[in-house]
């Protein structure tokens, strides 16, 4: 899925960068740079128990984007407009929506599913659930998750409250089979699209009929792929028809297997809008690279949207991010990487590559260098989820300092104290650069993003920097003394790598590049060069 992202991304990026079409409501945004952060003491209407929960998280004030969203959503007229946020990586977008949603739901009388937060990947969804978990229980709200690669039975047990029938009593069988005996065990659900659709289609008692808030986080990523039509399905299932009724399974659009949604949503006076008696579904869409493509935005069916952005440029990098480049000699890029990692003296680093294959090889190669300072692990779509989570946790805890990653980790992931991001492979698209670089310099901290370049890439990289609004990206001054010892151990490490890699049958159109044979030395030298570039 992650690797597939690139193809769709290519087209989307080119289209977005070249189009000057901006929808009218995006032309007069709220500029978050004019909003000040605000202490919890002075934040209007903040629930005292939420204040306590935030303080326990070590938060004493809200960041500008959080203050801006708070003012739009809390108090009179709150949540009347849908909100679209384009704000840099690490600026605190998660809490910007989690806090107002939890505050608003804190006054709910009955438990039912009122807020749905959708994210593109499992790890990201669990990270966001962690933020809700830290604040929602303080006001009696319950949070659930529905993400891929976890047990669906476990999900159901967590999400749906089944009635306990008393053995001594007689029940009308019609009552027992009817859905009103089942209810939601959660107020807020954080989900990935695939698992969400599983529940919509198959889980008895799972219903969106009471949904009031829909958050589409990493919007541009989620809108790029249809994921079984999750968005039109959710919108259809939460839309009121003219007579105030919500679609049933007989509505042509809705798949006939929507067993869970056969209950018709009744009119409610909980919250009205423009004289309508039913609650409107309020939507929040957020990203550090929010799409401006009208054909994408229209999918969200936004209501009188308000656009919040940071500054006047299309993209913005975190304020304390320093960008640096290293020009590498052809054929020995790994030597530069190891030299760079040594110069960083054990600081936490994420190294990004362009593919799962390169991630795997580079990780092995680094470990064959045998440097105790450089203990690397792999994190990519090529690993199964359990291994991925284990490596990520080890990295979070600081048990390993270097995580070699494909773009699976580029979006949204928040790992404390990552001081450096290294683009081993130059990112092809400005958005990829923004999201990769944004794994550091988060929450107002300082961080550095290094990009390793071959001579032939320098020009293209300068063009990319212009698009992301970063004119300055000096060469990182690194002493050649650091490289010389690394060069000496490079060839043996590479030989070990070649030995360790299972020979694979070459497929048409696919470079293998790791098979060792005993033809001429010349061939091998060329081969080593190619391997080094790929690794
Ligand atoms: N008000 C705050 N005070 C201190 N730290 C905060 C505050 N709000 C958020 N943070 C911290 O800032 C970090 C970044 O937050 P978050 O992950 O929400 O950023 P983001 O804008 O969603 O980034 P990305 O675009 O990369 O997903 C997190 O570690 C979070 O705990």
Most confident residue range from 17-26, 135-144, 176-185 = 135-144
Question: Ligand 1: which residues within 6 Å by Cβ?
Answer: 59, 62-63, 66, 87, 89-95, 288, 412, 414, 438, 442-443
- Give the atom of ligand 1 at the shortest distance from the alpha carbon of 412: 27
**Closest Cα to atom 1, ligand 1: which residue?**
62
Q: Which of 368, 289, 366, 297 is nearest to 333 (CA)?
A: 366
Ligand 1 centroid – CA 96 distance (Å): 9
Position 370 scores a pLDDT of 79
Distance CA 437, CA 466 (A): 15
**In the chain, helix, strand, coil percent, each to 5?**
40, 15, 45
Judging by DSSP bridges, how do beta strands 160-161 and 183-184 pair with one another? antiparallel
Ligand 1 centroid – CA 435 distance (Å): 14
Which CA distances in Å does 446 have to 51, 200, 319, 419, 468?
Answer: 27, 43, 8, 7, 18
| DSSP 8-state assignment for residue 412 | S
Give mean pLDDT, residues 496-505.
72
Ligand 1 centroid – CA 188 distance (Å): 20
351 beta partners: 404, 422
Q: Which of 174, 162, 249 is nearest to 209 (CA)?
A: 249
Q: Which tokens is 72 given?
A: 């739009």
Q: What percentage of the chain exceeds 90 in pLDDT? A: 60
Q: Which residue has the higher pLDDT, 241 or 146?
A: 146
Ligand 1 centroid – CA 319 distance (Å): 14
Phi, psi of 388 (to 5 degrees): -55, -50
DSSP-based three-state secondary structure for 149: coil
Position 472 scores a pLDDT of 83
Give mean pLDDT, residues 156-166.
78
DSSP-based three-state secondary structure for 461: helix
pTM: 0.84
Give mean pLDDT, residues 408-420.
90
> For the purposes of burial, counting CB atoms within 10 Å of the CB of 120, is it exposed (0-12), middle (13-18) or buried (19 or more)?
buried
Q: Would you say 61 and 89 are in contact if contact means Cβ atoms under 8 Å apart?
A: no
Distance CA 410, CA 2 (A): 10
Ligand 1 centroid – CA 66 distance (Å): 10
Distance CA 337, CA 348 (A): 14
Q: List pLDDT tens digits, range 193-218.
A: 999 999 999 999 899 999 999 999 99
Position 44 scores a pLDDT of 96
Count of beta carbons in the 10 Å neighbourhood of residue 337? 28
- Give the atom of ligand 1 at the shortest distance from the alpha carbon of 62: 1
Distance CA 140, CA 130 (A): 16
Position 270 scores a pLDDT of 40
Distance CA 212, CA 148 (A): 24
pLDDT at residue 250 greater than cutoff 80:
no
Phi, psi of 295 (to 5 degrees): -70, -20
Position 172 scores a pLDDT of 56
Ligand 1 centroid – CA 181 distance (Å): 39
Position 73 scores a pLDDT of 97
Pocket test for ligand 1, best of 414, 440, 444, 447 (most atoms within 8 A of CB): 414
Ligand 1 centroid – CA 90 distance (Å): 5
- Give the atom of ligand 1 at the shortest distance from the alpha carbon of 444: 12
- Give the atom of ligand 1 at the shortest distance from the alpha carbon of 438: 26
Q: List pLDDT tens digits, range 443-468.
A: 999 999 999 999 999 999 999 999 99
pLDDT at residue 163 greater than cutoff 50:
yes
Distance CA 80, CA 461 (A): 42
Ligand 1 centroid – CA 413 distance (Å): 10
- Give the atom of ligand 1 at the shortest distance from the alpha carbon of 37: 1
**Closest Cα to atom 9, ligand 1: which residue?**
92
Distance CA 432, CA 445 (A): 21
Position 150 scores a pLDDT of 84
Q: Would you say 192 and 148 are in contact if contact means Cβ atoms under 8 Å apart?
A: yes
Q: Which tokens is 453 given?
A: 């370049």
Q: Which tokens is 371 given?
A: 């440097």
Contacts of 522 by beta carbon, 8 Å cutoff, 6+ apart: none
Q: Which tokens is 401 given?
A: 């300092």
- Give the atom of ligand 1 at the shortest distance from the alpha carbon of 439: 26
pLDDT at residue 523 greater than cutoff 70:
no
Distance CA 50, CA 79 (A): 19
Distance of CA 60 to the CA centre of its chain: 25
Ligand 1 centroid – CA 43 distance (Å): 18
Position 498 scores a pLDDT of 85
Contacts of 478 by beta carbon, 8 Å cutoff, 6+ apart: 326, 339, 340, 343
């Amino acid at each position: 899925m992650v690797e597939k992202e690139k193809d769709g991304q290519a087209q989307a990026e080119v289209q977005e960068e070249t189009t000057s079409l901006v929808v009218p409501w995006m032309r007069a945004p709220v500029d978050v740079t004019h909003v000040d952060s605000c202490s919890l003491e002075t934040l209007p209407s903040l629930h005292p128990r939420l204040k306590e929960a935030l303080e326990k998280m070590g938060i004493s004030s809200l960041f500008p984007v959080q203050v801006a969203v708070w003012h739009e959503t809390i108090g009179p007229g709150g949540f009347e407009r849908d909100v679209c946020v384009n704000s840099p990586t690490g600026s605190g977008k998660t809490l910007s929506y989690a806090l107002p949603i939890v505050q608003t739901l804190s006054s709910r009388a009955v438990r039912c599913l009122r807020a749905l937060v959708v994210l593109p990947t499992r790890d990201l969804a669990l990270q966001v659930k962690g933020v809700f978990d830290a604040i929602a229980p303080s006001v009696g709200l319950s949070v659930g998750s529905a993400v891929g690669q976890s047990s669906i039975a476990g999900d159901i047990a967590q999400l749906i409250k089944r009635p306990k029938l008393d053995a001594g009593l007689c029940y009308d069988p019609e009552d027992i089979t009817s859905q009103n005996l089942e209810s939601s065990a959660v107020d807020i659900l954080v989900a990935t699209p695939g698992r969400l659709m599983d529940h919509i289609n198959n889980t008895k008692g799972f219903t969106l009929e009471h949904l009031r808030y829909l958050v589409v986080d990493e919007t541009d990523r989620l809108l790029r792929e249809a994921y079984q039509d999750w968005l039109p399905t959710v919108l259809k299932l939460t839309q009121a028809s003219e007579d105030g009724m919500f679609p049933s399974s007989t509505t042509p659009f809705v798949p006939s297997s929507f067993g869970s949604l056969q209950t018709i949503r009744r009119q409610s006076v909980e919250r009205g809008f423009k004289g309508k008696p039913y609650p409107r579904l309020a939507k929040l869409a957020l990203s550090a690279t929010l799409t401006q493509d009208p054909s994408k935005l229209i999918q969200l069916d936004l209501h009188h949207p308000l656009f919040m952005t940071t500054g006047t440029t299309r993209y913005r990098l975190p304020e304390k991010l320093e960008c640096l480049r290293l020009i590498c000699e052809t054929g020995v890029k790994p030597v530069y990487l190891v030299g760079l990692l040594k110069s960083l003296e054990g600081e936490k680093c994420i190294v990004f590559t362009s593919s799962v294959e390169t991630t795997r090889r580079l990780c092995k190669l680094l470990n064959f260098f045998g440097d105790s300072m450089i203990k690397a692990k792999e994190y990519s779509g090529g690993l199964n989820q359990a291994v991925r989570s284990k490596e990520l946790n080890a990295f979070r805890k600081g048990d390993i300092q270097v995580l070699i990653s494909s773009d699976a980790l580029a979006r949204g992931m928040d790992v404390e104290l990552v001081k450096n991001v290294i683009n081993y492979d130059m990112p092809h698209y400005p958005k990829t650069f923004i999201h990769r670089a944004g794994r550091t310099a988060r929450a107002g901290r300082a961080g550095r993003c290094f990009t390793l370049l071959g001579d032939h890439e320098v020009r293209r990289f300068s063009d990319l920097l212009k698009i992301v609004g970063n004119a300055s990206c000096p060469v990182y001054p690194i002493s050649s003394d650091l490289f010389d010892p690394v060069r000496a151990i490079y060839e043996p490490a590479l030989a070990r790598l070649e030995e360790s890699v299972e020979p694979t049958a070459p497929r048409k159109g696919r470079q293998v590049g790791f098979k060792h044979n005993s033809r001429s030395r010349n061939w091998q030298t060329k081969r080593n060069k190619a391997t080094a570039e790929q690794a």
